[in-house]
Amino acid sequence: MTVRIGVIGAAGRMGRTLIEAVSQSDGALILAGATERPGSSLIGADAGELAGLGKLGVSIADDVTKIVGDIDVLVDFSSPSATIEHIKACAANNTAIVIGTTGFTAEQDEIITKSSAQIPVCKASNFSTGVNLCFKLLDIAARVLGDDVDIEVLEAHHRHKVDAPSGTALSMGGVVANALGRDLAEVAVYGREGQTGARDRDTIGFATVRAGDIVGDHTVMFAADGERVEITHKASSRMSFARGALRAARWVTEKPAGMYDMQDVLNLK
């Protein structure tokens, strides 16, 4: 079965990569809709030409409601406020959604959860297969190493990324905290400066870099006296995220209403 894909933010870096990845799917996926923000000079342009692929016959729309009835699943890497409007439109049209947006508030997350009672929702902080394998490895490492190590999460992204730490870094910290029976909200330390005193063993530290065109680097360090274990993922292209998101898109269209993540898609739970 060919799955009809809708892409939010078709002219952005991730949007163009998603369109390219759809074109490489050998007919398993087709681009059936694409949007850009209202008022953009690109409204009405051909989505394929924006991605450097030539004409695909899909014009850029300025509102998700104009495409949601023509697609099977919407792929959304936009902003929290925009995604909330998009999932409401999907719920109203019984359309599945894949959400790669990060930085939601608790109230926004609650709206997404409620929508998943009506439609299948696949939401993840990172759709890379490698990153999701790292989540599994982090759970194992934390359980084996226990409370005998200091844990630090280091992440680096391009200068345009607006949230910090990254959603992926927070997810990594959350995996480790859950494995150790800790509440991340209580033990997270976001940066250090000045006379901070000795490190509390229970804390999980986060360090953030924003520079250049770094696609995404993440390292979780488990440091003990005399040895250190590091689990690292480095992305050199957005294509790994796009292919993972489209893998999730194919998977979620066959599922009943509910909340899923990439760990479900990869059968890692």
The residues annotated with a catalytic role in the active site are: 157, 161
Write the burial class of residue 165 (CB in 10 Å: 0-12 exposed, 13-18 middle, 19+ buried). buried
Structure-token match 């680097």, residue found: 217
The helix or strand, by DSSP H or E, that contains position 19, with its residue range, turns out to be helix 13-23
Q: How far is CA 131 from CA 136, 167, 220, in A?
A: 9, 12, 12
Question: How far apart (Å, rounded) are the C-alpha atoms in residues 165 and 206?
Answer: 7
The reply to whether omega before 38 is within 30° of 0 (cis) is: no
Tokens representing 42? 């690109």
Nearest alpha carbon to residue 1 among 67, 58, 72, 68: 72
